[in-house]
Amino acid sequence: MGANQAESFPPGTIPQAIFNTSLTSIPNPAVYTFDGTVYSFGFPIPTLGSQADANLNPAVPANDSFAFYQASSLLYPPTVGCTAFGYLYNVASGLCVTASKTEDAYPQYQGGTLTLEPCQNRNCTEPAVNQTFCTDEYTFPIYLPTQCVVFYGDATSPNSFYGPTYAGPSTVLIDGGDCIFVLFPA
């Protein structure tokens, strides 16, 4: 398989693997209540190119399901801040959550939108940079069995990852952003 291959799945499909990754979470809406606040992340119309909507305490929480597909830790080892890397897959559309670039150099994704695009594979061992998400090791014990998933992209220390901004149509933000809450087995 060559670099930058793209793959989409029939809407509603839950594949066992996306390229060299495997399904590790339970497909479920990315909605979580913490300390009296409801975090709701989703795509109002889950189709190619749709823009994410991230809201706090929405009148109607998102109901489209997401799954996390983890790359092998042997091929893509954990780093400071991230316990695992992989794709964030939208089941309703059969597409991957994708960040758009806003700059040619670091930070390339600051303020970029999150959309749905075919899943891409950079080199057969890991997701393409604009589709690289990770589970946040710092929040791991806090939200179990839900976990905090954030966009990694081109992030470098001390700004180790990006989170969505919970204020309507979703952008990504270096640190200071919030988690996309994904359900993992207990």
Whichever domain contains 70, its CATH number is: 2.80.10.50
Containing domain of residue 26, as a range? 5-183
Q: Does pLDDT of 1 surpass 50?
A: no
Phi and psi angles of residue 14, each rounded to the nearest 5 degrees, phi first: -115, 90
- Alpha-carbon distance of 179 to 164, in angstroms, equals 7
Count of domains forming the chain? 1
Question: Residue 154: pLDDT band by 50, 70, 90 thresholds?
Answer: confident
What does pLDDT average to over the chain?
Answer: 91
**Model pLDDT, residue 115:** 97
pLDDT digits (tens, 9 = 90+) for 47-84: 999 999 999 999 999 999 999 999 999 888 898 889 99
pLDDT on residue 51:
96
